[in-house]
Amino acid sequence: MRNERLHLLIVLLLAGVLFAACTTQVDCSKVGSRAALSGCNLKGADLSGAKLSGADLSGAKLSGTDLRKAILSEADLSEADLSGANLTEVIYTNDTIWPEGFDPEERGAVKE
């Protein structure tokens, strides 16, 4: 995998306007809240510091992803693959949905 280019389809609904980015290099720190990333392959991506409040990451492939200091409050990560993902200082809330049996604090995440 080449970390210098991130190929993915991102659909964002921001302020009622639909934006789409396909097979492009994306600055994931600016992805934004409420991002629709369900099922996306984000293996090895650098999402450190990303503001993903309320994002739909259900079923996303996040193995090896750098999520350090990302904001995942109210995000849906049900059935996401978080194997090897760096969750150090990730911020989450009671409304964040994790994969069944997953303990975010054991991986360094901090409840807000």
Q: Please state the domain extents for the chain.
A: 27-112
**112, 91 Cβ separation under 8 angstroms:** yes
Section 82-107 average pLDDT: 98
Q: Residue with structure tokens 């996306």?
A: 40
Burial group, residue 105, by CB count within 10 angstroms (0-12, 13-18, 19+): exposed
Please state, in angstroms and rounded to a whole number, the distance separating the CA atoms of residues 59 and 17: 25
User: What's the pLDDT at 35?
Assistant: 84
Please state, in angstroms and rounded to a whole number, the distance separating the CA atoms of residues 79 and 60: 7
Section 6-32 average pLDDT: 37
Q: What is the DSSP secondary structure assignment for residue 61, as one 8-state letter?
A: B
pLDDT category of residue 14 using cuts at 50, 70 and 90: very low
Regarding pTM above 0.85, the answer is no
User: What's the pLDDT at 9?
Assistant: 31
Instruction: Give CATH superfamily name and number for 27-112.
Output: E3 ubiquitin-protein ligase SopA (2.160.20.80)
Computed on alpha carbons and rounded to an integer, the radius of gyration of the chain in Å comes to 13
Rounded percentage of the chain residues whose pLDDT exceeds 90: 67
Is the pLDDT at 101 greater than 80? The verdict is yes
